[in-house]
Structure 1
């Protein structure tokens, strides 16, 4: 621990001492509340597990204080004012368990979503806002809140914070003058066109936030910490239009000059710490950064806040690199490092770092499919790489009654996850992989520089095989004879998938995306990629950043049309990065032939000829079931997993493997 000792020194927020420099960032607790607005057992276990894992400050996901002015479908997230007795009872169980590990816990409290309510999460209730402005997702105009309704919400904050304090929470975080939520909509002139005391000057636009902290301090006392999730910059080009990293644009939201001025006022009003990020729902990829954003992207803004105000600064945003976290605290960029998705992926992150076991930390791959994607589509918080996240009790490792030898064919994520879980439970897995390295499609998928965490996940699985003494045979193509010789009691086939191919004519210069990503083939300087799905778009972005001239040909009317559920932050950023990097896109187009360095494409406007050095196929994958079809009737306990069962994504390969391996 000596190298990272600074990260394990205490820090104070107000008069409250936090045992180390790690906070759990607030993430939408969809699925973690009950019908009466309390925390359900999943929520209690989920937050307790992160405290047990060493995190110094747990900040819950959003909870509502009002359920009348802006109606929310229950039980989406906790509500500290809906049934105070029940909220206190369920929360008390959670806070007492968290405190047992020396951790502290804040309740994040929201004034509402306003124009950014997500219909699939909260229902199609009438959206409200500071003014009659356009909704972010719906083609509707929001209803303007009355001054009396604002006063009601402020009063509810005081009641909710009082209930939180009684329930054992050590403080609260206000959600938020950040990301364009309701209180932030009041603070930003683009959204706030009011002429009363809540509109006009910066002080008036911040009045809502000011009255909230004053009310909480009045009801809970000056020493009860009230922190604020705060974005000093919005990155809004226009309504529903966000800016990309490096893009020149006119800020229509909060610019840094106003961000600094607002921060000073907010601290003067009584906020005890600023949890800093940037972005808005109109530029969602800043607030919920996908892999296309650089690591630690909020550090410059946290540093600016640190230089502006005299309260602790919390900094999140892809801060999972321990060296980056250490430098941020040591150099005075921030006081606490906030980990969100990394603690979904591995609740033991902090304890593993303290023990010097950095290579045992399961990496977040920033796919956002298990977290934001599922929140967006199914109102459920989970994690793609950790099937136990948010269901710790219900997906606990099952005890075994009899040790079994299990042969696993395929060392991709499905095969490795199955082997890992089987070994932890006490079975004897034996894994065969035809290639010289574990990881399967993580290896080509992780080739672009912005997908480095895919390779980190492959390395993590390799380390897990070593830690749990799994017998691994690399460079070994498994056959029915090999499997039979093992005399196993169960067989798992995770033989993966192969890229689809079709003939175009000049096959010498037609490659699969995998071949190019793995540098098995050199694609030249001018490239056409057939297929505008996730693989095609990411390959195009990678090649364009390397200076190649790239064109995407897609048969559908838009790119990324068949991938999902992709979080909008990922898909919208990738869609905008394509033209930003000069990549031409032909939609509604079908490739017909490739001869003499020219690809002929049929479009609605007729044939088009595209000169190119090579053509890259990114048209999907086919399940590799050859071995399964050969032995499917030879074994009573036989399972088909991963892409071999159904071509999908990393999340479902891992989840399905966990489910099967945990019940063998």
Structure 2
């Protein structure tokens, strides 16, 4: 039996046949900038061994001014060609194919030397770009062509020309940036001249037997973006200019609509690819929030696309395709689209990794070597840290017992999955359960392990998580006060609520409280209305003419914090704005600089710089932080047993699953 027949069907490109319909989309990892090309090569080769049909690298700059930041990787010299050759040789040896993405950032380049169609500053950069003259445009075209030629010399099977997400070529297409009146601006025939000319000249330079992908923006999600008629006109012109494949991009980076975060419905933009596909005769690739083989198969079976692009899912599991082909989809580590270790790292100048898979971009450093001396290992606590440690240790050959005081695995991940917009955590908990079973971990549920239980083990790992911090508010034991755990497990909550604490948990609880009925993440029409996503056939750029139309909030919520700063300022770099905007749309009041005086029958008494105030609420929810649950660790040490302490039991800050899973994996690898 063939699993996922449409996903596994070969794709004939004329001069080469791809073995399946899965593209690994481009991601900037920061690996190339480390200069450790062996590490870069292994990252891509690992994904090639996992069965993906075609890999696209992170964006490589064609010149210094086009780099996303100063020193960004590119193909600038013969030495660069030799380094990239190490990557292509490794991928080919692994049986894969790889294309290099050529990315010119234009006004998104974080540099005073940035250039664009017009001197219009981006809202996400402090630099005003220099408007290119005609000679300057010709120089940029020449550099892009040179980069493509060098890519072929370096052994790449093709290139992808980045023309979406608001980068350089996209900036020429849209009136949002292009204010020119010469042959490169004005009407659409002139505005699309640059990307078409780039594709034409690249094809001419690299020959007919070289994959040329053009990344086209289907919906810009900014004012004065491209209309649908313009998108179709461009797609046809790009095909005529010599493209092999059209890969679809969604939204500019400055757009105030989320496009890839976990709260975005799966395959939320495939309807646009489906509309474009019959307009051209070359294969069209769909992208954005596709993270399971079932979703991908459904898209292909429904005729919405010829190929599916997934990027971050290959951080989470490089063997995605091989597992799907073998009927082992339940073993695929799921991308939960959290951005915490990938995009948040990228935009903070850190090396990319993955919350679910700490080995991502660390394949040569974090190695799960089979043990030559199996031990009896006890892990206490089946939350994120404990489960990961138990799985890795057992996979390496240790005999592992996992003790959990409750009736199910998952720990606080089970609270996260109750929050609207975080439904992907359900799949993560399920995956952990599958992998614990497959690894042979002996699971002991409803068992609160004691120091006496653990006396005979060679190694003891304490992953007992956290306890809520005592907020120290007078009257906090009253009946109208609830903890966040009780709320997310379904406790009755009044219509007017004060949430004490505006960290990640406070925001999650507020999101939970203002929603009723179906989550927008599981209802595409509802989600589009909530964020004001329209149709580029109706409004250029695709923003709904009447703006966001969220459902009325289920409760009146005020979110409070002691710090005298904007609530949510410390949330994820690439997702914090989404959480703040979502709560603002639900009319949540967010207040900083608050002192908590007392819980009273009428609500919560607070003080601010303006004096005392009574918040008339029915329920007060405590999200005032956590402290490590170290009771068992202290008892073990008192009994003469030195445990390994990981996860929240080690550091309780913000229930950091990324750090917890990484700690668990690294300890499991070291035991």
TM-score normalised per structure 2: 0.89
Alignment partners' CA distance in 1, 2:282 and 2:485: 49
Once the two structures are superposed, residues 98-150 of structure 1 have per-residue CA deviations (whole angstroms, 9 ceiling, x without a partner) of 2345432211111x212223x5xxxx443322211123334442222232222
TM-superposed CA distance for 1:638, in Å, is 2.4
8 Å contact kept, 1:18–1:103: no
Q: For 1:439-588, what aligned pairs fall within 5 Å after superposition?
A: 439-484=410-455, 487-502=456-471, 503-505=473-475, 507-519=478-490, 521-546=491-516, 547-556=554-563, 557-563=565-571, 566-568=572-574, 570-588=575-593
Alignment partners' CA distance in 1, 2:636 and 2:293: 46
8 Å contact kept, 1:91–1:167: yes
Is 1:369 equivalent to 2:340 in the alignment? yes
Equivalent residue, structure 2, for 1:116: 108
Alignment partners' CA distance in 2, 1:17 and 1:308: 23
Equivalent residue, structure 2, for 1:56: 53
Unmatched 5+ stretches in structure 2: 517-553
CA spacing shift, 1:141–1:395, aligned 2, 3 Å? same
8 Å contact kept, 1:359–1:463: yes
Alignment partners' CA distance in 2, 1:69 and 1:351: 36
TM-superposed CA distance for 1:296, in Å, is 0.9
Once the two structures are superposed, residues 570-627 of structure 1 have per-residue CA deviations (whole angstroms, 9 ceiling, x without a partner) of 1111111111122222333333223224222323333333322211111211111112
Alignment partners' CA distance in 2, 1:607 and 1:323: 55
Q: For 1:4-43, what aligned pairs fall within 5 Å after superposition?
A: 4-13=4-13, 15-33=15-33, 35=35, 40-43=37-40
Comparing 544-553 with 425-434, greater Cα deviation is found at: 544-553
Is 1:626 equivalent to 2:631 in the alignment? yes
8 Å contact kept, 1:69–1:149: no
Is 1:311 equivalent to 2:311 in the alignment? no
SS of aligned partner of 1:174: strand
Alignment partners' CA distance in 1, 2:382 and 2:595: 35
Equivalent residue, structure 2, for 1:383: 354
Once the two structures are superposed, residues 295-347 of structure 1 have per-residue CA deviations (whole angstroms, 9 ceiling, x without a partner) of 11121111122133222111121111322211210111111111111110011
TM-superposed CA distance for 1:430, in Å, is 1.4
Alignment partners' CA distance in 1, 2:198 and 2:16: 20
CA spacing shift, 1:423–1:284, aligned 2, 3 Å? farther
Q: For 1:228-239, what aligned pairs fall within 5 Å after superposition?
A: 228-236=214-222
SS of aligned partner of 2:560: strand
SS of aligned partner of 1:612: coil
CA spacing shift, 1:379–1:357, aligned 2, 3 Å? same
Equivalent residue, structure 2, for 1:173: 160
Alignment partners' CA distance in 2, 1:584 and 1:253: 32
TM-superposed CA distance for 1:479, in Å, is 1.1
8 Å contact kept, 1:31–1:379: no
Alignment partners' CA distance in 2, 1:71 and 1:328: 32
Once the two structures are superposed, residues 536-591 of structure 1 have per-residue CA deviations (whole angstroms, 9 ceiling, x without a partner) of 1122122212122322123332121334xx132x1111111111122222333333
SS of aligned partner of 2:57: strand
Equivalent residue, structure 2, for 1:431: 402
Q: Aligned to 1:603, which of 608, 615, 624?
A: 608
Comparing 316-325 with 468-477, greater Cα deviation is found at: 316-325
Equivalent residue, structure 2, for 1:225: 211
TM-superposed CA distance for 1:290, in Å, is 0.9
Equivalent residue, structure 2, for 1:662: 669
TM-superposed CA distance for 1:196, in Å, is 2.4
CA spacing shift, 1:8–1:622, aligned 2, 3 Å? same
TM-superposed CA distance for 1:466, in Å, is 0.7
Is 1:196 equivalent to 2:182 in the alignment? yes
SS of aligned partner of 1:600: strand
Alignment partners' CA distance in 2, 1:604 and 1:258: 53
8 Å contact kept, 1:280–1:286: no
CA spacing shift, 1:592–1:304, aligned 2, 3 Å? farther
SS of aligned partner of 1:550: strand
SS of aligned partner of 2:409: coil
Alignment partners' CA distance in 1, 2:50 and 2:356: 17
Alignment partners' CA distance in 2, 1:504 and 1:205: 64
Q: For 1:53-202, what aligned pairs fall within 5 Å after superposition?
A: 53-67=50-64, 72-74=69-71, 76-77=72-73, 79-80=74-75, 82-84=76-78, 86-110=79-103, 112-117=104-109, 119=110, 124-176=111-163, 178-202=164-188
CA spacing shift, 1:473–1:114, aligned 2, 3 Å? same
8 Å contact kept, 2:250–2:288: no
Q: For 1:248-327, what aligned pairs fall within 5 Å after superposition?
A: 251-283=223-255, 286-287=258-259, 289-327=260-298
8 Å contact kept, 1:498–1:622: yes
SS of aligned partner of 1:231: strand
- Across the aligned residues of Structure 1 and Structure 2, the Cα RMSD in angstroms comes to 2.1
8 Å contact kept, 1:416–1:461: yes
Equivalent residue, structure 2, for 1:416: 387
8 Å contact kept, 2:599–2:605: yes
CA spacing shift, 1:346–1:71, aligned 2, 3 Å? closer
TM-superposed CA distance for 1:371, in Å, is 0.4
Equivalent residue, structure 2, for 1:214: 200
SS of aligned partner of 1:8: coil
Is 1:404 equivalent to 2:375 in the alignment? yes
SS of aligned partner of 1:593: strand
Comparing 623-632 with 329-338, greater Cα deviation is found at: 623-632
SS of aligned partner of 1:481: coil
